[in-house]
Every structure is written in C-alpha cells, then in structure tokens.
Amino acid sequence: MRIIYFDLDGTLTDPKAGITRSIQYALERLGQPVPTEDQLAWCIGPPLLASLKKLVDTEALAGKALLLYRERFSGIGLFENEVVPGIEDTLLMLPASGRRTMFTKGPPIFINLAFPAVYLNASSPEPAPSLPRQHA
C-alpha cells in the first residue's frame, strides 16, 4: 500500500487571502501604508516577523504588527484559505486507487476528508489526538 502525504497550505489550499488580509489589517491598525494583497504575496512563506519588519522598519512595530496579525488571522484569516482548483476531485479518487492519503500541517490545524488519518506535521508521525493511530 502506498501512502501519499499532502501539505495543506500551497498544495491543497491557497492561503494568500487569509495571510495578506491579516497583514493589511495589522498595517492599517498601526497607521502604516497598506499594500495590496498581490503586493504582499512575497510575505507568504518566509518567517512572518521578518517580513513584517521589512514592512514597518522597526523591531518594536513588527512585534505589534505580529500581534495584530494574529488577532485577525486566528478568527478570520485562518478560514479564508481557498481550495486549489481540481484538488477535490483528485483527493476523492485516491482512496479508490488503494492509496492511503495523509495531510500535514505545521500549526495545529487539520482537516479530515474521510481519509485514513490526518497528521499535524510531516516531521512527527503522530496523528491528530482525536484520530486512532493507523499503521501502514
């Protein structure tokens, strides 16, 4: 049996809207210039604090921006991910092909689309606490 691991952000879903809108929220609250979502796309991937520091110029403001970012992202931005077009059909056909499908995500966010297991982090083989451990 083959196991296929998928990373959530950037593979199954596009996190751009949630991340960039949360950065915009933080910048606006701090009275800083607010770039467009497309202009903030470079912030996706690198460490967020470093990106915020480039946007606001000081460590102190970057720290405040990070707190404001988290304020919005935790309640709104987290749910603004968009499913990558076509991925749903691909995921639905994989179990019928005899492959086990597992999902990885660094932060404690996970999805379960009726597949055998959901893994929180590719570096840890421990499944999400609410799911039974399954052996390959």
Question: What amino acid positions are annotated as catalytic residues?
Answer: 7
22, amino acid identity: S
Contact (Cβ atoms closer than 8 angstroms) between residue 7 and residue 105: yes
> Other CB atoms closer than 10 Å to residue 3's CB: what's the count?
12
Contact (Cβ atoms closer than 8 angstroms) between residue 108 and residue 12: no
